């Protein structure tokens, strides 16, 4: 009898512990057929399977443990999936690998993840920073130099803090260590402040990244959206400055779009303009997309985007999975199409 009571007590204790902890497996698989003309300076066209045309394909694990007194601990491990080739280069957790403490004070995270400055204001891109239709303000390789994009989408070795929601007001701040004995290449600092109330959502962000020796990049973004139910409007205004010994550079980028529900789907239309001051040239991008939900987890979609480069501009569209797609020749346009399936789990 005594042993039975002890066994029941152990089971009860373990059940309580399990009730206070949770681990979730989640992910998205998004694969499409794509085509891009003027895929390189020679004017060649490329077609084939692409990945992440509507949402970034991913596989992840996240968990939360209740520590009592309103305090929780959590972890998040997430890596990108390439549906077109099955991750030929191998799988990793470079999308996110963080541990955190959460409570009434907000959340403190440590590890690698999206920078606070990017995570909020990028959400106003109608195409979710995925596929050929996405706003290129954060990822555009404006000068056609490999390794010179200097974007601040993610940072390794970062500690970040996110506030609780104060009647619609939220904020986040992050600092990424360079972990070098000399120099500061790789260091990041940035944050955002936002207000969400009913149909209105607005945010601003600022970040500075030390891309390399004698190369600093800072980006200031103001973005917002307004949902009128029948249509949702969005806007992004951004300025990116490069401080370089070889010469300073500046790009002003703008986006304006609208999305509307149509039956079981959604239509999206977005215009973007990239004013590259250093070369006195502009690029205009027009993107049209439709997403049709087959269920809560599965959707089919189609996107077409046109990039019109003027003067010395040679900005290209973003297409994952077609490695041969580069920027077009100077002053040449580029058109891309993606038709695919997205499934989340």
- pLDDT, one tens digit per residue, over 178-214 is 998 877 888 999 999 999 999 999 999 999 998 887 8
Residue 231 located in a structural domain: yes
CATH number at residue 309: 2.40.160.10
Residue 291 located in a structural domain: yes
Q: What pLDDT does 195 receive?
A: 98
Angle ∠(103,121,214) on CA atoms, nearest 5 = 100
The total number of structural domains in the chain stands at 1
Chain length of the chain? 345
Residue 50 located in a structural domain: yes
Residue 100 located in a structural domain: no
Q: What pLDDT does 128 receive?
A: 96
Residue 284 located in a structural domain: yes
Q: Which of 78, 81, 76 is nearest to 29 (CA)?
A: 81
Cα dihedral 327, 288, 34, 126, rounded to 10, equals 80
Domain containing 329 equals 32-57+120-344
- How many angstroms separate the first and last alpha carbons of the chain? 46
Q: What pLDDT does 244 receive?
A: 81
Residue 107 located in a structural domain: no
Residue ranges of the chain whose pLDDT lies below 50: 1-19, 146-147
Residue 89 located in a structural domain: no
Pairing state of beta strands 169-176 and 298-309?
A: unpaired
- Show Cβ contacts of residue 296 under 8 Å, excluding neighbours closer than 6 positions: none
Instruction: Render pLDDT for 79-135 as a digit per residue (tens, 0 to 9).
Output: 999 999 999 999 999 999 999 999 999 999 999 999 999 999 999 999 999 999 999
Residue 82 located in a structural domain: no
């Amino acid at each position: 009898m005594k042993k039975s009571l002890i066994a029941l007590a152990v089971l009860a204790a373990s059940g309580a512990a399990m009730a206070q902890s949770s681990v979730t497996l989640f992910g998205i698989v998004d694969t499409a057929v794509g085509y891009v003309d003027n895929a390189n300076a020679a004017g060649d066209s490329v077609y084939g399977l692409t990945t992440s045309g509507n949402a970034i394909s991913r596989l992840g694990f996240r968990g939360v443990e209740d520590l009592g007194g309103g305090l929780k601990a959590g972890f998040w491990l997430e890596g990108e999936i390439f549906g077109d080739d099955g991750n030929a280069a191998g799988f990793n957790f470079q999308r996110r690998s963080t541990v955190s403490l959460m409570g009434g004070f907000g959340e403190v995270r440590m590890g690698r993840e999206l920078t606070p400055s990017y995570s909020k204001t990028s959400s106003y891109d109608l195409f979710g920073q995925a596929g050929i239709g996405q706003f290129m303000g954060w990822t555009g390789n404006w000068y056609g130099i490999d390794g010179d994009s200097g974007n601040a989408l993610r940072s390794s070795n970062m500690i970040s803090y996110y506030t609780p929601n104060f009647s619609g007001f939220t904020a986040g701040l992050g600092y990424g260590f360079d972990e070098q004995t000399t120099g500061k290449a790789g260091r990041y600092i940035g944050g955002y402040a936002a207000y969400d109330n009913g149909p209105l959502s607005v945010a601003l962000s600022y970040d500075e990244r030390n891309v390399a020796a004698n190369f600093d990049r800072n980006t200031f973004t103001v973005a917002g959206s307004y949902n009128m139910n029948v249509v949702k409007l969005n806007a992004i205004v951004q300025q990116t400055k490069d401080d370089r010994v070889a010469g300073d550079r500046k790009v002003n980028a703008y986006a304006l779009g609208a999305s509307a529900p149509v039956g079981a789907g959604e239509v999206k239309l977005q215009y973007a303009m990239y004013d590259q001051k250093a070369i006195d040239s502009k690029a205009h991008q027009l993107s049209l997309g439709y997403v049709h939900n087959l269920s809560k987890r599965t959707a089919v979609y189609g996107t077409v985007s046109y990039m019109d480069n003027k003067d010395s501009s040679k900005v290209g569209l973003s297409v994952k999975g077609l490695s041969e797609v580069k920027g077009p020749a100077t002053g040449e346009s580029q058109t891309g199409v993606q038709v695919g399936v997205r499934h989340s789990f």
